[in-house]
Amino acid sequence: MIPRRIMIIGGPGSGKSTLARQLGDALDLPVKHMDREVHWLPGWQERPKHDKAPIVARIIAEPAWVFEGGHSETYADRLARADILIWLDAPVITRLYRVIFRTFRDHGKTRPDMQDGCQESLRELPEFILFILRTRKRSTAKMRALYESAQIEKHHFTTFKDINRFTAALTAEHTPALREQ
């Protein structure tokens, strides 16, 4: 059976957006990025908290998606509709490196998983690094609890090698079925 709804969680810099795009392309599923669709408005304006849950509800009601990102208040609702849960749990030092690298690489540009006008900025980098460090234990605990409670197919990856192996296997398994549709 081809998965129709894939939920991806993980800390900043863990590869959620990249994996979501890869799976969306490979399985012909629409990709939904929490930062782009729910959290941010153009120009780094945070969407009001009370507006977020209804947007998430509309997305998860769709018949198919790869939905990546945080907003732990909606974890249970997303999990209830998902066919697969993927937790990307790279070490914090790896994630910090990736965040710093992408900030320098994409400085002044808006990544595809972000809202329009949300350019990468060196000025905001120190605050983002502190956010990652301050929230890592609490965020990991929430993701672990969600993962352990999940009664669906689930995958916990701590290395990018394992993520790539999984993506290749899933793609190979479902590509012939996608061609028949």
Report if residue 105 sits inside a domain.
yes
d(CA 95, CA 11): 8
Count how many domains the chain has: 1
**pLDDT tens figures, 137-155:** 999 999 999 999 999 999 9
Is residue 180 pLDDT above 70, yes or no? no
Would residue 180 count as lying in a domain? no
Q: Where are the alpha helices (DSSP H) in 4-120?
A: 16-27, 34, 49-61, 75-81, 92-105
Each residue's pLDDT tens digit, 97-129:
999 999 999 999 999 999 999 999 999 999 999
The reply to whether 181 falls in a domain is: no
For residue 91, is it within any domain? yes
Question: What is the pTM assigned to this prediction?
Answer: 0.92
- Tell me if 9 is assigned to some domain: yes
Please give the span between the terminal C-alpha atoms of the chain, in angstroms, as a whole number: 12
Q: Which domain holds residue 119?
A: 5-174
| 179 within some domain | no
Residues above pLDDT 70, as percent of the chain = 95
Return the pLDDT at 175: 60
Dump pLDDT digits (tens) for 78-98.
999 999 999 999 999 999 999
Express each pLDDT in 32-49 by its tens digit.
999 999 999 999 999 999
Residues in the chain: 181
Question: Would 64 be classed as within a structural domain?
Answer: yes
CATH code, domain with 52 = 3.40.50.300
